[in-house]
Amino acid sequence: MPKHSQNTTRKRRALPKAERRNQLIKATIKCIAKKGLAATTMADITNEAELSVGIVNLHFKTKELLLIETLRFIADEYKEGFDQIFASNNMQDLEKLKAIIDYDFSPRIINRNKLAVWFAFLGEVKARPIYQKICAQHDDEINHEICKLFSSLLSEKTKRKNDVELITSAYSALTDGLWLDILLSPQRSTVNAARNAAWQYVSGLLD
């Protein structure tokens, strides 16, 4: 009685390595969102993926390595979309900033499942420096881009009164904090309120 029978026994199939890895990573995200990082077992993950328990060993060697790849997946996915916006050359700087804010609260990238995974790993950062490392490089690059954007957008007067680097880190912190709000409050309205709050902060700097 195979678990994944529908009516008739489904045949097991060999898939390309990359596809299996993605399948397992997606199952891991779902499980962490549902049960938390601490309570997620290998059996949970392989059940969710409708595969056998031994498969993780085959594709990731250990649970810890699967977790690391899962975090990397989410970090890369975010960074990729971010880079796309920045690389675009049919947008003015202000449009880019608007696009980033929209992106930061778009459901495909930022939803409660992914935020749950994100914050689950961040919560373990002090104990597992590897998690911090995975986030740090992207973060630095992102902050650098945002800083350049503010530099070109803000008036001389504003820049004389405020430190641009400080504005950048406040902006990043604001975004992180708003994400946390979304994770913590199940209402859908939070996402819109969060986007508005981010935009209010930015527009306050611009005029």
Partner DNA sequence: CAAATGAATGAATGATCATTCATTATGGAC
Partner DNA sequence: GTCCATAATGAATGATCATTCATTCATTTG
Q: Could you say which residues in the range 86-105 bind its own copies, by CB under 8 A?
A: none
Q: Could you say which residues in the range 48-67 bind DNA, by CB under 7 A?
A: 51-59, 61-64
Inter-residue contact 57 to 13 (CB < 8 Å): no
Q: Is 175 in the site for its own copies (CB under 8 A)?
A: yes
Q: Is 107 in the site for its own copies (CB under 8 A)?
A: no
Given 6, 7, 8, 15, the residue binding DNA (CB under 7 A): 15
Q: Is 147 in the site for its own copies (CB under 8 A)?
A: no
Tokens of 79: 């960074």
Least distance in Å: CB of 112 to its own copies? 6
- Cα Rg of the chain, angstroms: 20
Q: 125 vs 147, which CB is nearer to its own copies?
A: 125
CA 201 to chain centre: 22
Q: 83 vs 124, which CB is nearer to its own copies?
A: 124
Given 42, 85, 122, 154, the residue binding DNA (CB under 7 A): 42
Q: Which does 167 bind (CB under 5 to 8 A by kind): its own copies, DNA, none?
A: its own copies
Q: What is the 3-state secondary structure (H, E, C) of the chain?
A: CCCCCCCCCCCCCCCCHHHHHHHHHHHHHHHHHHHCCCCCCHHHHHHHCCCCCCHHHHHHCCHHHHHHHHHHHHHHHHHHHHHHHHHCCCCCHHHHHHHHHHHHCCCCCCCHHHHHHHHHHHCCCCCCHHHHHHHHHHHHHHHHHHHHHHHHHCCHHHHHHCCHHHHHHHHHHHHHHHHHHHHHCCCCHHHHHHHHHHHHHHHHHHC
What phi, psi does 70 have (nearest 5°)? Answer: -65, -45
Q: Which does 58 bind (CB under 5 to 8 A by kind): its own copies, DNA, none?
A: DNA
Q: Is 197 in the site for its own copies (CB under 8 A)?
A: yes
Q: 52 vs 113, which CB is nearer to DNA?
A: 52
The residue ranges that bind DNA (CB under 7 A) are 2-3, 11-15, 17, 20, 39-43, 51-59, 61-64
The residue ranges that bind its own copies (CB under 8 A) are 33-39, 112, 116, 119-128, 132, 135-136, 162-163, 166-167, 169-170, 172-178, 180-181, 183-184, 193-194, 196-198, 200-201, 204-205
